[in-house]
Structure 1
C-alpha cells in the first residue's frame, strides 16, 4: 500500500513542480532584459524563482550571486522531491550531493591552475555545506595539488585524485581527473539501479543515464579532437566507460575528420536515431547534447509511470532550465543581441 501511495505522490508532485517551469512568454520577456538586475527582478516578481530571490536587492545583485541562488533553488527542490521517492530517492539525493562535490573539486582545480585559488571563496555554494562531507572552506585555502589531496583526504575522491598528482614541471591532467571522478560517480549510479530497481524502471533509468553518457562522450570527442587537436588514443582514454555506443560507432566517431562528419555519425547511433530528429545547425556542440537530453526527459516526465524515472526527468529538465537562464545572463553581460542569445538556448524553441 505504501509504495503505491508514494508512487502516486511522486508522480503528481514532480509533474506539478514541472508545471511551474518557465513559459515561452517568460523566455521571451527574459530575452528583452538589458541588465542582470532586470533579469533578477523579473525572476523574483514573475516566476517561481521568486521564493529564492526574496529579500535580495536586485539592483545590486552580481551575476555570480544570481547563479548561486538559482542553483540553490535547484538543489533544494530536487532534494525535497527525492524524499518522496521511497525506493531509491535517498540514493538519488546522494547522487546529487556527490555530483555537486565533484563540480566543486573541479572548479577549485581550474582556479588553482589559473593561479587564483582564493577566488573559490567568492563562488562557494554555501547551501551545499549542510549536506556535504567535503570541506568547501578548505577548497578556498588550497595553494597546491597536495593541499587539494589533504582537503579531500577523508572522501572517496582522494584515491582517484592521488593517481593524478602532477610531477614537477608537468601540466595537470585535468581531463584525466574529470574522467576519473565522473567514472566513479556513474559507477555508483549504475550500482544503485542494479541493486534497487527492477523491470521497466531499471530499463528506463539505464537508458536515461546511458543516453546522457553517450552524448557526453560525443561532446568530449568533439572538443578534444577538433578544438584541442588531440590524437585518437588520447581522446579514447578520456571517454566515460559506460553507455550504449557500439564499438564500431565509437571508432567511427573517433576517426571522424570534421565536426559535420561527427554529427552525421552520432545520428546513426541508437541515441541519435531515437532522439536526434533535427538535421539543423547548433550554436555550439553542447546544444545537441542538451536538446537531446531535453527530448528524452520531456517524454519520460509526461509518459513514464515509474516514479524514479519521472524524478530524474524532472531533475534533468530543471537543470536545463537553469542553464538557459545562466546563458541569458551571460549573453546580456557580453551585450549579445536577443536573437543571438536565443540561438544558444535549449528550451526556448520547443
Structure 2
C-alpha cells in the first residue's frame, strides 16, 4: 500500500515526537538511585512518559515481575499506537511485526520454563497481538520443559521449523531456539520485503534493518567462538548464528570466521560498514553490538524519509529503552549501587 504525502508526514512526525519522549540520561540516573521497586514505579508514573502505563494499575505496592510486565505492555502499546497497522505501515510490515511478536513470546516462554512468573508477563501482552497471533498462549504458559513447549506449538509453523532444526539429535538450549527462530524471522522478513518492493531506497533501508539485526547476532556468535573455543572453533554448532541475511561481503565474513582471536574480530569489524558505529571501550561483545544497533536506529529515525524505516527504528529504540529499565529494576531488586546499575545500560553516547 502506498503512502500519501500527508500520511508519510504524519507518521514521521509522530514517531519523532514519541522519540523525543524517550528517557534521558538524567531519568536513568534518577531511576538507578531509587531504593525500592515501588519507588522506581512511582518515579516512572510521575516523572516520565510512562505515566500512561499505570492508568489501570492500582495504587498499591507493585512487585518486580508485575512492573516489568506493565512496562512491556506499554512499550508494545506505544508501538501499536504509532500508526494503524494495516493502513499506516502496509500489510507486509504488519505481518513481520506479528511474526516478530510470536518469536518474542516463544523465546520468553523458553526463558521461563523453570519459573512460575511467565503468567505475569503474558497477562500484559496487548490483546491486539494475542488476537492476531497463531500461537495458543495457555499451553505455552504452562510449559515446564522443552517437550511441553514444543507440544504447545503444535499445528503452528514454528513447530515444524524447530523440529527440522533440532533433527532429533541436538540437545535443547534457549540459545539454539533463539538462533532457529531469529534465523527464520530475518529470512522471512527479507523475503516479504523483496516481494513487496522490487527496488528503491525504501527497499534497501528495510532490508538493511534486518541485515543489521542478523549481522549483530553473527558477530556475537563469532566473537564468543573465538573467545571461548579458540581460532579452530567449529561453526557447525547450535551456538553459532548465521542466517545468510547479511550486509557483509563474502570476503568480510570469511575474514571474520578466519580470525585468530576475538580482538582480531573487532579489528576486522572496524573495516566494515559497521565500523563507524563500533564503540572503542573495553566491554562485552553484546554491549558493543547493542550500542551499534542503537546508534544506527537513532540515525535512521532522524534522517530517513521513509515511514516504514522510521517505524522500525523507533521499535528498536524502544526495545533498548525497555531493556535498560529492566536492568535498573533488576539492579534495585538486588540492591546494587547506582553507579553499578548504570554500567549495564545501553546508551548511544557510550564510548
User: TM-score per shorter chain, which class?
Assistant: 0.7 to 0.9
Correspondence 1:57-136 to 2 at 5 A: 57=58, 60-83=61-84, 86=87, 88-112=89-113, 116=114, 119-127=117-125, 128-136=129-137
Within 1, Cα distance between the matches of 2:67 and 2:115? 21
1:204 aligns with 2:202: no
- 1:286 alignment partner in structure 2: 286
Q: Residues 194 and 202 of structure 1 are in contact (CA less than 8 Å); yes or no, is this contact kept in structure 2?
A: yes
Q: Is 1:238 the counterpart of 2:236 in the alignment? A: no
Q: Partner residue of 1:262?
A: 265
| Corresponding residue of 1:324 | 324
How does the TM-score come out when normalised to structure 2?
0.87
1:234 match: secondary structure? coil
Distance 1:252 1:336, change over 3 A: farther
Q: Give the distance between the partners of 2:101 and 2:95, measured in 1 at CA.
A: 10
How big is the shift at 1:143? 4.9
Q: Is residue 166–residue 172 contact of structure 1 (8 Å, CA) maintained in 2?
A: no
For residues 22-33 of structure 1, the aligned pairs below 5 Å read 22-33=23-34
The RMSD of aligned alpha carbons is 2.8
Counterparts of 2:323 and 2:146, CA distance in 1: 30
Aligned residue pairs total 343
The one-character-per-residue Cα deviations of 1:143-179 (angstroms, maximum 9, x if unpaired) are 55443333222221121122255759x6325444322
Q: CA deviation at 1:123?
A: 3.4
1:218 offset after TM fit, Å?
0.7
State the shift of 1:324 in Å. Answer: 1.0
Kept in 2: contact 1:201–1:309 (CA 8 A): yes
8 Å contact 2:85–2:91 — kept in the other structure?
no
In the TM superposition, residue 190 of structure 1 has moved relative to its aligned partner by 0.9
Q: CA deviation at 1:291?
A: 1.0
Give the structure 2 partner of residue 187 of structure 1.
Answer: 187
Give, in angstroms, the shift of residue 117 of structure 1.
6.3
Structure-1 separation of matches of 2:229 and 2:332:
28
Deviation, structure 1 residue 225: 4.2
Task: Give the distance between the partners of 2:86 and 2:137, measured in 1 at CA.
Answer: 28
Q: Greater shift after overlay, 232-241 or 312-321? A: 232-241
Tell me the distance in 1 between the aligned counterparts of 2:134 and 2:40.
34
1:117 and 1:140 in contact (8 A); partners too? no
Residue 243 to residue 145, structure 1, CA distance change in 2 (3 Å): same
From 271, 274, 277, the counterpart of 1:275: 277
1:217: how far off?
0.9
Given the alignment, which residue of 235, 251, 254 partners 1:251? 254
| Structure 2: gaps of 5 or more residues | none
* Residue range with higher mean Cα deviation, 308-317 or 20-29: 20-29
Q: For 1:202 and 1:195, locate their aligned partners in 2 and report how far apart those are by CA, in whole Å.
A: 10
The 8 Å contact of residues 204 and 309 in structure 1, kept in 2 or not, is answered as yes
Q: Distance in 2 between matches of 1:24 and 1:122?
A: 29
State the Cα distance separating 1:311 from its structure 2 match.
1.0
In structure 2, the residue matched to 1:147 is: 148
Q: State the 1:77 CA deviation.
A: 1.5
Change (3 A) 1:111 1:14: closer
Do residues 12 (structure 1) and 13 (structure 2) align?
Answer: yes
Runs (5+) with no aligned partner, structure 1: none
1:20-44 C-alpha deviation (Å, 9 max, x unpaired): 1112321221122122111111001
Question: Is the partner of 2:40 in helix, strand or coil?
Answer: helix
Separation in structure 2 between the aligned mates of residue 123 and residue 307 of structure 1, nearest angstrom: 30
Distance 1:97 1:165, change over 3 A: same
Q: Could you say if the C-alpha distance between residues 144 and 33 of structure 1 is closer, same or farther in structure 2, counting changes exceeding 3 Å?
A: closer
